[in-house]
Amino acid sequence: MSLTLHLHPLSSYCHKTLIAFYENDVPFTANIVDLGNEASRTAFRKLWSLGKMPVLRDDARGRTVPESTIIIEYLARHYPGPVELLPTDPELALRVRLADRFYDQYVHEPMGRIVADRLRPAGQHDPFGVEQMRAALRKAYDIIEADMASRTWATGETYTMADCAASPSLFYANEVLPFGDTHKNVAAYFSRLKQRPSYARALREAEPYFHMLPRQNLA
């Protein structure tokens, strides 16, 4: 098998990429990277010196591909399947890329900063910064709420790469700032995302690792 995806089952960006693989049944080997293990960490950094996951290695084409969005676009170009996650129409593709960036930058990013604050040592937390990130998430929720009043998926009626990005972003965001009682359209969209077989599979595979998360409970 020529494709190896280097990942961790708890990583939201890895979930995003796994969804794309599962949507189109693209065969690959999963290599779970343990950054706490010196040998695993060293081997991974030889592949990608920044040490960020996921990273795709395509031995058949001699390519190393980092970054979740780029990996999904790479699969769309070289290993396409029946689900067109990135439209061939350039105008539609721009809409999908914009929505993909929205979920990565304006949902995932503030969520990640809130989680990172939980991991800081006692006395090193940043309550003001956390509240800023919560405000940013609320603004993002408001935008999604309006969009989802008339859409099934992120950019319309077709499931795309943007929905791959939305799935883990909203999953973890809901853990740090729940939206079920305040944003009904967001909650309904999130429910559809979780019912998608590709994401349901990624979540099942992550379940054995959920105890490692810095949180109180996981719904």
Q: How far is CA 23 from the centre of its chain?
A: 14
182 and 95, same structural domain?
yes
**Residue 36, pLDDT score:** 84
Residue 57 included in any domain = yes
41: nearest Cα among 88, 71, 8: 8
Number of domains in the chain: 2
65 and 11, same structural domain?
yes
CB neighbourhood size of 147 (10 A) = 17
Residue 128 included in any domain = yes
CATH for 97: 1.20.1050.10
173 and 126, same structural domain?
yes
Residue 206 included in any domain = no
Query: What's the CA gap between 109 and 126, in Å, rounded?
Result: 16
98 and 73, same structural domain?
no
Per-residue pLDDT of the chain (219 residues; tens, 9 = 90+): 699 999 999 999 999 999 999 999 999 999 999 888 899 999 999 999 999 999 999 999 999 999 999 999 999 999 999 999 999 999 999 999 999 999 999 999 999 999 888 878 888 888 898 999 999 999 999 999 999 999 999 999 999 999 999 999 999 999 999 999 999 999 999 999 999 999 999 999 999 988 877 654 333
Residue 98 included in any domain = yes
145 and 117, same structural domain?
yes
Domain holding 160, by residue range, is: 90-196
What separation in angstroms does the CA of 179 have from each of 36, 125, 144, 159?
33, 24, 11, 22
This prediction has a pTM of 0.93
**Residue 116, pLDDT score:** 86
146: nearest Cα among 177, 184, 118: 184
CATH for 8: 3.40.30.10
109 and 69, same structural domain?
no
Instruction: Please name the amino acid found at residue 125.
Output: H
